[in-house]
Structure 1
Amino acid sequence: MSRKIKIEPYKGPAGGWGSMHSVARHMKDEGMLVRGAPVLAKQNKPDGFACVSCAWAKPDPAHPAEFCENGAKATFWELTSERNPPEAFLRHTVSEMRGWSDYELEKAGRLTHPMRFNHETDRYEAVGWDEAFAEIGAELAAIRQQDPKGVVFYTSGRASLETSYMYQLFARLYGNNNLPDSSNMCHESTSVALPESIGVAVGTVTLEHFEKADALFFFGQNVGSNSPRMLHQLEEAKKRGAAIVSFNPLRERGLERFTNPQDPVQMATRGETRISDAYHQVRPGGDIAVLAGMSKWLFEADLRATADGEDPVLDHDFLAEHTHGLSAFRDFIEALDWNDLEREAGLSRDEIEAAARIYASANGVIGVYGMGLTQHRLGVDTVQMLVNLLLLRGNVGKDGAGICPVRGHSNVQGQRTVGISEKPELVPLDRLAEQYGFEPPREEGMSTVDACRGIIEGRVSAFLGLGGNFLRAVPERELMEANWPRMRLNVQIATKLNRSHLFNGKRAYLLPCLGRTEHDEQATGPQVVTIEDSTSCIRVSKPVHPPASEMLRSEPAIVAGIAMATLPDNPNVPWRDWVGDYARIREAIAGTYPDIFHDFNTRMFEKGGFRKPVPADERVWKTDTGRANFKLPKALGASFDNGNDDTVLRLITLRSNDQFNTTVYGYRDRFRGIEGTRMVVLLNGEDMERFGIRDGEMLGMETAVGDGVIRRMSGFRATRYDIPKGSCGAYYPECNALVPLWQYAEKSKVPAAKSVPVRLLRDLAHA
Structure 2
Amino acid sequence: MAERATYRPYEQPTGGWGSVKSLIRHSTRQRAVGAVPALVRHHNKPGGYMCTSCAWAKPAEPHAAEFCENGAKATFWDVTAKRATPDFFAAHTLTTLRGWSDYELESAGRLTHPLRYDAAADVYRQTSWQEAFEAIGARLKTYEPKSVVFYASGRASLETSYMYQLLARLYGNNNLPDSSNMCHETTSVALPQSIGTPVGTVLLDDFDHTDCILSFGQNVGTNAPRLLHSLQEASERGAAIIVFNPLRERGWEEFLNPQQPVKMLTNSPTRIASEYHQVRAGGDIAAMVGIAKALIALDAEAFAKDGEPVLDAAFIAEHTHGFDAFRDYVEGTAWSDILDASGLPRAAIEGAAATYARARATIAIYGMGLTQHKLGVDNVQMLVNLLLMRGQIGKKGAGICPVRGHSNVQGQRTVGIAEKTDLVPLDRLAEQYGFEPPREDGLNTVDACHAIVAGEIRAFIGLGGNFLRAIPEKELMEERWRGLDLSVQIATRLNRTQLVPAAGDTWLLPTIVRSEIDQQAGVPQIVTMEDSTTCIHASRGQWERPDGDLLSEPAIVAGLAEASLPPNPLVPWDAWVGDYGLVRDAIEVTFPEDFRDFNRRMDTPGGFPRPVPARDRVWETDTGRANFKLPAALSASFDDDDDADVLRLVTLRSNDQFNTTVYGYDDRLRGIHGSRMILMMNRDDRVRLGIAEGGDARLTTVAGDGIVRTLDGLQVIDYPLPAGTCAGYYPELNVLIPLWHHDEQSKTPAAKSVPVRATADGAGPV
TM-score (norm. length: structure 2): 0.99
Structure 1 residues 460 and 40: CA distance shift in structure 2, 3 A: farther
Q: Distance in 2 between matches of 1:600 and 1:416?
A: 17
Aligned position for 2:304 = 307
CA contact (8 A) 2:59 2:605 kept: no
Q: Distance in 1 between matches of 2:699 and 2:118?
A: 36
Question: Cα offset for 1:765?
Answer: 7.7
Which residues of 2 match residues 357-376 of structure 1 at below 5 A? Answer: 357-376=354-373
Tell me whether 1:503 sits opposite 2:500 in the alignment: yes
Moved over 4 A (4+): 1-4
The match for 1:539 among 518, 530, 537 is 537
Q: Secondary structure at the match of 1:701?
A: strand
CA contact (8 A) 1:39 1:544 kept: no
Aligned position for 1:250 = 247
Q: Distance in 1 between matches of 2:225 and 2:430?
A: 42
Question: Cα offset for 1:550?
Answer: 3.9
The match for 1:523 among 521, 524, 537 is 521
Q: Distance in 1 between matches of 2:437 and 2:378?
A: 32
Q: Secondary structure at the match of 1:205?
A: coil
The match for 2:480 among 473, 483, 486 is 483
Residues 603-612 or 505-514, more deviating? 603-612
- Paired AA for residue 103 in structure 2: Y
Q: Distance in 1 between matches of 2:220 and 2:150?
A: 31
- Paired AA for residue 588 in structure 1: A
Q: Distance in 1 between matches of 2:308 and 2:711?
A: 57
Question: Cα offset for 1:316?
Answer: 0.7
Tell me whether 1:631 sits opposite 2:629 in the alignment: yes
**Which 5+ residue runs of structure 1 have no aligned equivalent?**
none
Q: For the aligned residues, what is the CA RMSD?
A: 1.1
Q: Secondary structure at the match of 2:124?
A: strand
Question: Cα offset for 1:549?
Answer: 2.5
Question: Cα offset for 1:686?
Answer: 0.6
Aligned position for 1:207 = 204
Which residues of 2 match residues 416-495 of structure 1 at below 5 A? Answer: 416-495=413-492
Aligned position for 2:81 = 81
Q: Distance in 2 between matches of 1:27 and 1:765?
A: 43
- Paired AA for residue 730 in structure 2: Y
Aligned position for 2:29 = 29
CA contact (8 A) 1:313 1:360 kept: yes
Q: Distance in 1 between matches of 2:4 and 2:755?
A: 31
Residues 297-306 or 202-211, more deviating? 297-306
Q: Distance in 2 between matches of 1:435 and 1:757?
A: 49
Q: Distance in 2 between matches of 1:622 and 1:633?
A: 21
CA contact (8 A) 1:287 1:373 kept: yes
Aligned position for 1:346 = 343
**Which 5+ residue runs of structure 2 have no aligned equivalent?**
none
Aligned position for 1:136 = 136
The match for 1:219 among 198, 216, 238 is 216
Query: How much identity, in percent, do the aligned residues show?
Result: 60
Question: Cα offset for 1:35?
Answer: 3.0
CA contact (8 A) 2:697 2:714 kept: yes
CA contact (8 A) 2:363 2:399 kept: yes
CA contact (8 A) 1:117 1:508 kept: yes
Tell me whether 1:408 sits opposite 2:421 in the alignment: no
Question: Cα offset for 1:689?
Answer: 1.4
Question: Cα offset for 1:598?
Answer: 1.6
Which residues of 2 match residues 231-242 of structure 1 at below 5 A? Answer: 231-242=228-239
The match for 1:270 among 267, 271, 279 is 267
Aligned position for 1:124 = 124
Aligned position for 1:154 = 151
Aligned position for 2:597 = 599
Q: Secondary structure at the match of 2:121?
A: coil
- Paired AA for residue 400 in structure 1: G
Question: Cα offset for 1:2?
Answer: 7.1
User: Deviations for 1:561-598, whole angstroms, at most 9, x for unmatched residues?
Assistant: 00100000001100000000000000000000011112
Q: Distance in 1 between matches of 2:41 and 2:761?
A: 52
Which residues of 2 match residues 370-385 of structure 1 at below 5 A? Answer: 370-385=367-382
The match for 1:707 among 690, 705, 708 is 705
Aligned position for 1:163 = 160
Which residues of 2 match residues 263-302 of structure 1 at below 5 A? Answer: 263-302=260-299
Aligned position for 2:68 = 68
Question: Cα offset for 1:761?
Answer: 2.9
Which residues of 2 match residues 646-665 of structure 1 at below 5 A? Answer: 646-665=644-663
Q: Distance in 2 between matches of 1:197 and 1:448?
A: 24
The match for 1:190 among 187, 190, 211 is 187
Question: Cα offset for 1:3?
Answer: 5.2
Q: Distance in 2 between matches of 1:419 and 1:605?
A: 22
Tell me whether 1:751 sits opposite 2:749 in the alignment: yes
Aligned residues: 764
- Paired AA for residue 245 in structure 1: I
CA contact (8 A) 2:690 2:760 kept: no
Question: Cα offset for 1:10?
Answer: 1.1
User: Deviations for 1:117-144, whole angstroms, at most 9, x for unmatched residues?
Assistant: 011111100110000000000000111x
Q: Distance in 1 between matches of 2:131 and 2:283?
A: 54
Q: Secondary structure at the match of 1:464?
A: strand
Tell me whether 1:356 sits opposite 2:315 in the alignment: no
- Paired AA for residue 574 in structure 1: P
Q: Distance in 2 between matches of 1:625 and 1:365?
A: 25
Q: Distance in 1 between matches of 2:588 and 2:686?
A: 58
CA contact (8 A) 1:524 1:581 kept: no
Aligned position for 1:14 = 14
Q: Distance in 2 between matches of 1:625 and 1:703?
A: 41
User: Deviations for 1:248-294, whole angstroms, at most 9, x for unmatched residues?
Assistant: 00000000011000011110000011100110000001010011111
Q: Distance in 2 between matches of 1:7 and 1:88?
A: 36
Q: Distance in 1 between matches of 2:249 and 2:759?
A: 28
- Paired AA for residue 473 in structure 1: A
CA contact (8 A) 1:205 1:403 kept: yes
Q: Secondary structure at the match of 2:482?
A: helix
Q: Secondary structure at the match of 1:594?
A: coil
The match for 1:694 among 692, 695, 702 is 692
Q: Distance in 1 between matches of 2:409 and 2:754?
A: 25
Q: Distance in 1 between matches of 2:643 and 2:235?
A: 42
Q: Distance in 2 between matches of 1:691 and 1:712?
A: 17
Aligned position for 1:57 = 57
User: Deviations for 1:718-750, whole angstroms, at most 9, x for unmatched residues?
Assistant: 110001111110100000000011010011000
Q: Distance in 2 between matches of 1:745 and 1:624?
A: 22
Q: Distance in 1 between matches of 2:242 and 2:762?
A: 40
- Paired AA for residue 449 in structure 1: V
Question: Cα offset for 1:348?
Answer: 1.1
Aligned position for 2:673 = 675
Aligned position for 2:324 = 327
Aligned position for 1:105 = 105
Q: Distance in 2 between matches of 1:561 and 1:136?
A: 10
Question: Cα offset for 1:376?
Answer: 0.3
Aligned position for 2:48 = 48
Q: Secondary structure at the match of 1:200?
A: coil
Q: Distance in 2 between matches of 1:41 and 1:242?
A: 32
Q: Secondary structure at the match of 2:594?
A: helix
The match for 2:572 among 569, 574, 577 is 574
Which residues of 2 match residues 605-644 of structure 1 at below 5 A? Answer: 605-644=603-642
Q: Secondary structure at the match of 1:142?
A: coil
Q: Distance in 1 between matches of 2:385 and 2:480?
A: 43
CA contact (8 A) 2:163 2:554 kept: yes
TM-score (norm. length: structure 1): 0.99
Q: Secondary structure at the match of 2:432?
A: helix
CA contact (8 A) 1:589 1:597 kept: yes
Question: Cα offset for 1:38?
Answer: 1.9
Q: Distance in 2 between matches of 1:450 and 1:203?
A: 26
